[in-house]
Amino acid sequence: MTSRVHYLRSEDGPGQKTPIFISHRYRRHSTRPTIERASASQSSYMQSISDKKRALPALPLSALSPKKSPMPNAEYFAKCFGLNERPFTLLPDPDFLYWTPAHARAFAVLEYGVVARAPITVITGEVGAGKTTLVQYLLRNFDDTTLVGLISNAQGGRGDLLHWALGALDVDVPDGSDYVASHQALQAFLIEQYSLGRHVVLIIDEAQNISVEGLEELRMLTNINAGKDELLQLILVGQPELREMITRPGLRQFAQRVTASFHLSAMDLETTKAYMRHRLIHAGGTGQEFNDGAIALIHKRSGGVPRLVNKFADFAMVYAASSDFPIIDEVVVCEVFQDNLFLETVEPVPLPDFNSRDAAE
């Protein structure tokens, strides 16, 4: 590199110069740099440094990630309203069972079917009507004299239902057994239970998935008896398609074996109000966390189906808690629906036009 000082000629005289700037000129070397091999002492030093780095403990990912507040659990939103638990869960919970007139009659039919030793009892209802909750409540009421098998979602045709029944009743069958051997194993099991003073009940939930051939196979299983006593009782629970299938002309023999049946209808507005307030009180609330207008909107959108009521009410509580609203009103419910949180198979009903909370009031 070479440097050069530039001067400004002075008017005071020829010998006076004033420096104004300095320029630098760089010369590029044509020779390429060479890489020299490290000496033995240098290699030993670098190796010791590398070993020290490896000996350092690794930092956990939590130490590297930024600190943030913990995510609230599902119970957090319930506690915002002073509740002990979520009142509107989607899981069947007999503890929250509200005895609407329809549910009370459906359970009476179930009890009658068990007590009367009815060959086949059928309970139907729309999706989310509370059928499985009734089944769970019924299971709590059986004593030691009743052996219960539960099939939650049976599918298949002739031959498959027999294996479903054997599995639900915990009947051991040798591998490779044919249909006749499996049927004889079930019959021997039922006779053994009868001799011990127990009767056997087989509950099939989501029975609308069974084929016509499967239903006919179930009918044949009810022919196993000991004199005047039925050795196997069937309780079929399913959607309205099950009832439609049973009433076909080709299944008239099956329909004649159905001693008791009931269809669960949806709740009306007054029943929906009582249903929601019951669940709120059971969860530790006052029952007044939703005003009447909010309940009316939820009933209108849900059609009075309990599962849909629970889903809409649960999200309404989340929205209200996030905005610190002590009461869930029409505005909160409309906001939930307008955000399109739910996948619906029917055209949703139109909602009131609430542009502000003042308009709602």
Q: For residues 275 and 293, what is the distance between their CA atoms, to the nearest angstrom?
A: 15
pLDDT for the residue 25: 53
In a domain, 205, yes or no: yes
> Are 256 and 306 in the same domain?
no
pLDDT for the residue 262: 96
Please choose, from the candidates 92, 74, 71, the residue with its C-alpha nearest in 3D space to the C-alpha of residue 83: 74
Statement: residue 37 has pLDDT above 70: no
Statement: residue 62 has pLDDT above 70: no
> Are 242 and 307 in the same domain?
no
> Are 285 and 234 in the same domain?
no
Domain extent, residue 277, equals 268-360
Percent with pLDDT over 70 in the chain: 73
Token representation of residue 289: 């966390």
Statement: residue 150 has pLDDT above 60: yes
> Are 115 and 256 in the same domain?
yes
Token representation of residue 166: 């054997």
Which stretch of 219-228, 244-253, 296-305 has the lowest confidence by average pLDDT?
Answer: 219-228
Name the most confidently modeled range: 16-20, 109-113, 154-158, 352-356: 109-113
Please choose, from the candidates 165, 101, 169, 99, the residue with its C-alpha nearest in 3D space to the C-alpha of residue 134: 99
Domain C-terminal end among 248, 264, 280: 264
Domain C-terminal end among 264, 297, 317: 264
The count of structural domains within the chain is 2
Q: Are 87 and 74 in contact (CB under 8 A)?
A: no
pLDDT in tens, 194-237: 999 999 999 999 999 999 999 999 999 999 887 778 899 999 99
| pTM of the predicted structure, to 2 decimals | 0.74
Q: What is the CATH number of the domain that holds 191?
A: 3.40.50.300
Statement: residue 33 has pLDDT above 70: no
> Are 134 and 218 in the same domain?
yes
> Are 260 and 278 in the same domain?
no
Q: What is the CATH number of the domain that holds 353?
A: 1.10.8.60
Which stretch of 24-33, 66-75, 87-96, 274-283 has the lowest confidence by average pLDDT?
Answer: 24-33
In a domain, 38, yes or no: no
Statement: residue 331 has pLDDT above 90: yes
Residues contacting 204, CB < 8 A, separation 6+ = 151, 154, 164, 210, 218, 234, 235, 236, 237
Which stretch of 15-29, 68-82, 327-341 has the lowest confidence by average pLDDT?
Answer: 15-29
> Are 232 and 111 in the same domain?
yes
Of 72 and 356, more confident? 72
237 pairs with which residues across the strands? Answer: 123
> Are 118 and 254 in the same domain?
yes
> Are 165 and 250 in the same domain?
yes
Statement: residue 327 has pLDDT above 50: yes
- Alpha carbon separation from 347 to 146, 281, 302, 343 (Å, rounded): 45, 32, 11, 11
> Are 239 and 288 in the same domain?
no
> Are 166 and 297 in the same domain?
no
Token representation of residue 243: 């009832």
